[in-house]
Chain A
């Protein structure tokens, strides 16, 4: 029994690695995959934020209304108010900087960010896909190996 397992563990894999190394690669792949998935999720969450901002700006009243609105002072109290400057919005561009922009420019800004994030998400998803494929292959190799081991032990 021990001789059979000894020869099985030193048997060369198609990739030229020993069983223990294949297992290591699989573990590393697994953690890479999880990290990629969580990164993609976070990017998508940020992208959603930009999408919502785009929507919010597009809903700003542009015609000559009285610009009255309700301002939330707490989660249960609103106070009537008026938009003092419906022609400009303040956009947070990061690191504590805000820029006054016209609604159209603000929408362009959000769209740019949204699209940029989409490009990054696509890049990550491609890498993730490749890793998932590789993991599948490695799992196959491990299973095949376990089967061979079982067969040898049964002899």
Chain B
């Protein structure tokens, strides 16, 4: 009985570790998204301060391409919308992962209790 329980415990702990790793990845993604979002908000602000005939260039690979201010504003706006969408998606994903972690913790605690009571 005891070896089976120990094996079960090992498996659960392994699953818990994996879920924790997933969580860490999500946190990193979230941080990066936040940085991108803030950067784009800066650019949006700068665009607001420009006259409509100001010359704007966009870096596409190694080339600086001339763009209309309105085009630039659109691009930045689209990026911001994308970032916000991704951040929302991540937030829900992280909440679910947190719940999974909680469930793992409970299962591990139960198995540990069983092992202790069997001794």
Contacts and interface: CB of A to CB of B under 8 A. Distances in A.
A90 B55 CA distance: 9
Interface in A88-111: 88, 90, 93-101, 109
What's the dominant secondary structure at chain A's contact region? strand
B40 interface: yes
Contacts of B36: 95
B76 A95 contact: yes
B39 A98 contact: no
A101 B57 CA distance: 11
Contacts of A96: 58-60
Nearest to A101: B54
Contacts of B59: 96-98
A99 B64 contact: no
A72 B59 CA distance: 22
Nearest to A113: B42
Nearest to A93: B46
A99 B54 contact: yes
Interface string B25-54: 000000000001001101100100010001
B79 A95 contact: yes
Q: How large is the interface on A (under 10, 10 to 19, 20 to 34, 35 or more residues)?
A: 10 to 19
Contacts of A94: 39-40, 42-43, 46
Contacts of A90: 57, 64
Contacts of B50: 99
Which of A99, A100, A109 gathers the greatest number of chain B CB atoms within 10 Å? A99
A97 B39 contact: no
Interface string A34-78: 000000000000000000000000000000000000000000000
Interface of A: 88, 90, 93-101, 109
Interface of B: 36, 39-40, 42-43, 46, 50, 54-60, 64, 72, 76, 79
